[in-house]
């Protein structure tokens, strides 16, 4: 993050040069980084075990309710509570809350030893709902609900389902297909033992290389914007911090209350806390402009999300040890 911010601030024209490398508003450098990051993790998924995940009604129902009912509602409430006098930033935060995570959550879940198969299913589920529900929820939270609550005039999102679908295909569809085909072909030619014992360890480190590359590029793109408005960034950061805490810890408590094992509880929590900042930034820029307050809120999203979720990975791993210790104590 520091490297990216420094490059964006100190290297003349670097942010503009990176911003020009895009197709239909999708940054190709970020897409490349996410592909490199997600491919090794998705190649590790045992796709023949997905039925066990889809059959877990507690997990599936909880994920849908948390991501598409509670998550946007929590962000709406926090945005109006903390930014009542800053409508542009408030709208940008609400857009971030609508964009449920479909990409980087894969790596956070893997680092926290979550359930890879469950992560693949929940991310795919979020992708479907993102295409179908993003525009509708945007209208509800930015236009209809503020009018009902007499909070003032609402905003409108000018974003097509096609553009959202393109975002989903690039940031999830391509690495998911690559991972699936690699698993199928690799197991057929090498056998599962050799595939997992020899091939996966070779490509595994590339997930972290892709993560680091993505973070550097992301913050190089927005380094000047972030560093030139520190007080505004701080105002936007406060509700984001509260949001991540509520979503992660609340969902982790729910998973444990439902009797889910640690790996699925962690997956549920990370998919709830993460957001699709790529989509949020793209929507804010396309609708309100690159210099708008809404776009700045989208940019601040990953500035806060990345270090917070890295910290939550360590929190989850500490709780994993408690889960394991409890299992040992209750074992016959």
Domains of the chain: 2-323 (1.20.1530.20)
Q: Could you tell me how far CA 101 lies from the centroid of its own chain?
A: 3
Q: How many angstroms separate the first and last alpha carbons of the chain? A: 48
Calculate ∠ Cα 319-323-327, nearest 5°. 165
Confidence of residue 308 (pLDDT cuts 50, 70, 90): very high
- Check: CB of residue 126 under 8 Å from CB of residue 100: yes
Tokens standing for 204?
Answer: 């595994």
pLDDT tens-digit profile of 77-113?
999 999 998 889 999 999 999 988 877 888 899 999 9
The counts of H helices and E strands in the chain are 19, 2
Residue 236: which of 170, 171, 311, 292 has the closest Cα?
Answer: 292
Integer Rg of the chain from CA: 20
**6 CB burial (10 A radius; 0-12, 13-18, 19+):** middle
Spatial distance between the Cα atoms of 237 and 166, rounded to a whole number of angstroms: 29
pLDDT tens-digit profile of 185-212?
999 999 999 999 999 999 988 988 888 8
């Amino acid at each position: 993050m520091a490297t990216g911010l420094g490059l964006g601030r100190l290297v003349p024209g670097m942010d503009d040069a990176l911003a020009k490398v895009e197709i239909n508003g999708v940054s190709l450098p970020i897409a490349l980084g996410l592909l490199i990051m997600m491919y090794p993790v998705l190649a590790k998924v045992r796709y023949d075990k997905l039925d066990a995940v889809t059959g877990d009604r507690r997990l599936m129902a909880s994920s849908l309710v948390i991501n598409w009912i509670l998550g946007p509602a929590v962000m709406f409430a926090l945005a109006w509570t903390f930014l009542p006098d800053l409508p542009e930033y408030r709208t940008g935060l609400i857009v971030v809350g609508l964009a449920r995570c479909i990409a980087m959550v894969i790596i956070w879940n893997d680092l926290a030893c979550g359930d890879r198969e469950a992560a693949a299913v929940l991310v795919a589920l979020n992708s479907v709902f993102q295409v179908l529900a993003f525009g509708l929820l945007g209208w509800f939270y930015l236009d209809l609900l503020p009018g009902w609550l007499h909070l003032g005039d609402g905003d409108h999102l000018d974003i097509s389902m096609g553009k959202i679908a393109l975002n989903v295909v690039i940031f999830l569809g391509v690495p998911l297909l690559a991972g699936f085909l690699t698993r199928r072909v690799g197991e057929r030619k090498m056998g599962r033992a050799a595939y997992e014992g020899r091939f996966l360890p070779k490509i595994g480190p590339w997930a972290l290389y892709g993560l680091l590359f993505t973070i550097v590029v992301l913050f190089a793109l927005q380094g000047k914007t972030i560093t030139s408005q520190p007080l505004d960034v701080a105002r936007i950061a406060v509700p984001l911090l509260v949001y991540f805490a509520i979503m992660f810890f609340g969902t982790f408590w729910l998973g444990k209350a439902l009797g889910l094992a640690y790996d699925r509880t962690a997956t549920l929590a990370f998919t709830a806390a993460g957001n699709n900042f790529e989509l949020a930034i793209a929507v804010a820029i396309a609708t309100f402009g690159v210099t708008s307050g809404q776009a700045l809120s989208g940019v601040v999203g990953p500035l806060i999300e990345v270090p917070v979720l890295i910290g939550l990975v360590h929190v989850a791993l500490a709780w994993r040890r408690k889960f394991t210790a409890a299992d040992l104590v209750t074992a016959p």
